[in-house]
Structures are given as C-alpha cells and as structure tokens.
Amino acid sequence: MSHPTTSPLAAPAAALPTASVEAARRRSAELEDEVRADPRRFRVLTGDRPTGPLHLGHYLGTLANRVRLQRAGVELFVVVADYQVVTDRDVAGDVRGHVRELLLDYLAAGIGARGGAGTAGEPPATIFTHSAVPALNQLMLPFLSLVSVAELQRNPTVKAEAAATGGRGMSGLLLTYPVHQAADILFCGANLVPVGQDQLPHLELTRAVARRFNDRYGAGQALLSEPEALLSAAPLLLGTDGAKMSKSAGNAIALRDDEDTTARLVRSARTDADRHITYDPAHRPEVASLLLVAALCSGTSPEALADEIGDGGARRLKQVVTEAVNEHLRPLRERRRALAADEGYLRAVLAAGNAHANAVADRTLRTVQEAMGMTY
Ligand code: TRP
C-alpha cells in the first residue's frame, strides 16, 4: 500500500508488474459488484499497527471504506496488529496508549463493534489484538513451513524494509511478518482483504500458504480458503510538508486533533507561488492534494473547488480546506470525545472482540492440527 494511508511497511509500487495490477483491478471491480449483490458471502480482514492515532489520510483512504463495507452488510475482522509493531522497531513504545487511540478512531469513524453499541442489523465487527489471540500466533509455525526463505527475501515490502534498517540487519520477525499477516487473514477465514496495490504480493503469499496447506494436508478438501484482494482506490494525500502523509513524519492532521489545531496545520501546509488555484496533480502536487482533501470532505470535485477559489490564492484555499475538514470530521470528533470518557466501554469492546477472535482462531487451529495429525 504505497498510497499515503498505509503503513510504513509498504513496498514501492514500481516493484509490481503492470499486468498483475490491472488484473487485480478488474477483479476488484467484479468483487465490488458481488459485495453489492450478496454482502453476506464476504468476510473482510483488515487492520493497523498501533503506532499512533490515525489521520485524515487513513480516514479518507481506508477507514471510510471499512465503514462502507460494514454498512453494506459485510462482516469485518479488524486486527490491532500489536505484535507487528516490533517488526521494524526495537521496542513497542506506548503500545497500550496507541491501542486505545486506534480503538477510539475505529469506533468514532463508525465501525460497529462486537461488544459495543452494535450496528443496525449488520454483522458486528470483531476488533482484536494479535497478542490476545494465542491460536492465531501458533498458526504461524505450520505456515512458516510452507514458504521458503528465498520467497520471503523476494517480498518487495520485506526488501524495502530491510534496505531501510540502515545496516542494522533485519530481524526474523521482519523477514517472516508476511506469514504472520497470512495467519491474520486465514485464521478467521476472511475471503476479502482491502489492500493498496503494493500489498498485492502479501496477498499472493497468503493465497500460496492456503493452497499449499490444502495440497499437503487437505486430502482434496479446501480446509483454508484463498482470500482475494479488494484494491482500494485510496487517494494520494500529502502531508503539510509536501511529503506523503504519515503518522511518523509528523505532517498529518490526526482525526483526534481539534478544530484550531486543524486550522493551524492547514495554514502551515506547503503550497506554491502561483496565486491562481488550479487542480494540476502532476505539476502542483501540494495544491492538488489540498484541493482533493477539501473535495473528499465536502463531496465535490477538486476541479470545481479550484474554479471556485480561482484567484483567491493559497490563503483562500486553506480556509476552504480547514472548513471542509472540520465540518466533515465534526460528528466523528464529537463521538470520539464521548467515547474517550468511557473506559469501561472501550474495555468491553476489546474484550468481546478478543473473545470472539479466540473462539474462531481455536477452531481454525484445531482444523489445522487435525489435518496434520497432531491431535493427542
Ligand atoms: N500491516 C498492516 C498495517 O500496518 C496491518 C495488518 C496486519 C494487516 N495484519 C494484516 C493488513 C493483514 C491486512 C491484512 O496497517
């Protein structure tokens, strides 16, 4: 997922052959039709690493899409990938605090969680943490036996991460985390995974793990189902410094930020010297990104907004962006504030999600162990 809404664990999009991306795009369009026709056939696994609060890019790119899928009637499993935090850093940091922030962002964005107020008739989302689901993690052992080291070393994200370790050398967890992600997806039988295009290799690996397990142990039965990628049309949003918006770069507008902070951050955003505002992503990326943010928040097109602003310059553009963002996020932020005051509620949601994830993971592990003859 090399668009801005995704983790730093992302590969350069150029690593992928165009033909396979196009095939995935075509298949995703079909899948969107199938979701509309029969949402109950689908289970989605998605998630985030708890490394900080989510920002506008996450919201417009992935969070809103999850809410859309759930409202359409699809069942969600959302992993708060706490074990994955230590793939590319030495210590987990304030992981407890970050898990709480993530939970607040999910619930405030409108994900209807198991153990919470629920949703209007849709299946509730199971929000869970890696570390609370032992059977999920145990699946990693047999799954690791199904992939080669060379295969992992070829994974574009692993490669990019290894290059970014600055000569420190790569941990075993970093090398194998695509298999851990496969376990996230396969334990719950998710058949649909929303991804950016640079995460396609992960999904291919997950499919390979399922296929190889079935071939080796299934006796003609598909014990594990091969998930499909739902390519997200996430917009390319830049941070206030003109670089990709990201949690770690400190250039993002967090969902939890208040309206004044939002105004200040937008005012500090980089633009260019041309007073006349036009939507020209190729030549004016910073201005284009601001227009896109405002357009996505106010349900209009960036071209129309540019026309409206015209000679109003960066000053007017930033006023428009600030108003659009604050307006759009107001209900979310209100919900977030209310939820933040209710620790019991947050605890109940995570407890219910973890309990359900454990029940599902225990069943899958049992199936896997039975197929391998490991029941005593
Ligand atoms: N790597 C994802 C992120 O950092 C989180 C994640 C963990 C995930 N397991 C997954 C995403 C399985 C999709 C499928 O945001």
Q: Write down the domain spans for the chain.
A: 2-234+343-371, 259-340
Q: What length does the chain have?
A: 376
Structure tokens, 330: 């107001």
Whether residue 266 contacts residue 65, with contact meaning beta carbons closer than 8 Å, is answered with no
Residue from 2, 5, 44, 46 to probe ligand 1 pocket by mutation (most atoms less than 8 Å from CB): 46
Who lines ligand 1 at CB under 6 A?
7, 9, 45-49, 79, 81, 84, 181, 184-185, 193
Structure tokens, 194: 């929303």
If phi > 0 it is left, if psi is from -120 to 50 it is alpha, else beta; for residue 110 that is: left
Distance from the CA of 55 to the center of ligand 1, in angstroms? 16
Residue 207 to residue 185: CA distance in whole angstroms: 10
User: Which helix (DSSP H) or strand (DSSP E) does residue 154 occupy?
Assistant: helix 149-154
Q: Which atom of ligand 1 is nearest to the CA of 6?
A: 15
Protein residue closest via CA to atom 2 of ligand 1: 48
| 167-175 contacts at long range (C-beta below 8 A, 24 or more positions apart) | 171/86, 171/87, 173/83, 173/86, 173/87, 174/87, 174/88, 175/149
Q: Given this model, what pLDDT does residue 203 score?
A: 95
Taking the whole predicted model, whether its pTM rises above 0.95 is answered as no
Q: Given this model, what pLDDT does residue 17 score?
A: 78
Domain 259-340, CATH: 1.10.240.10
Tell me the CA distances in angstroms from 195 to 2, 63, 151, 255, 335, one per residue in order: 10, 12, 20, 21, 27
Report the Cα 178 to chain-centroid distance in Å. Answer: 15
Distance from the CA of 46 to the center of ligand 1, in angstroms? 6
CATH architecture of 2-234+343-371: 3-Layer(aba) Sandwich (3.40)
Structure tokens, 56: 């506008």
Query: Residue-wise pLDDT tens for the chain (376 aa)?
Result: 333 333 444 445 456 778 888 999 999 999 999 999 999 999 999 999 999 899 999 999 999 999 999 999 999 999 999 999 988 787 888 999 999 999 999 999 999 999 988 667 889 999 999 999 999 999 999 999 999 999 999 999 898 888 877 777 889 999 999 999 999 999 999 999 999 888 899 999 999 999 999 999 999 999 999 999 999 877 879 999 999 898 778 899 999 999 999 999 999 999 999 999 999 999 999 999 999 999 999 999 999 999 999 999 999 999 999 999 999 999 999 999 999 999 999 999 999 999 999 999 999 999 999 999 999 9
Q: Given this model, what pLDDT does residue 90 score?
A: 79
Distance from the CA of 48 to the center of ligand 1, in angstroms? 5
Distance from the CA of 181 to the center of ligand 1, in angstroms? 6
Q: Which atom of ligand 1 is nearest to the CA of 81?
A: 7
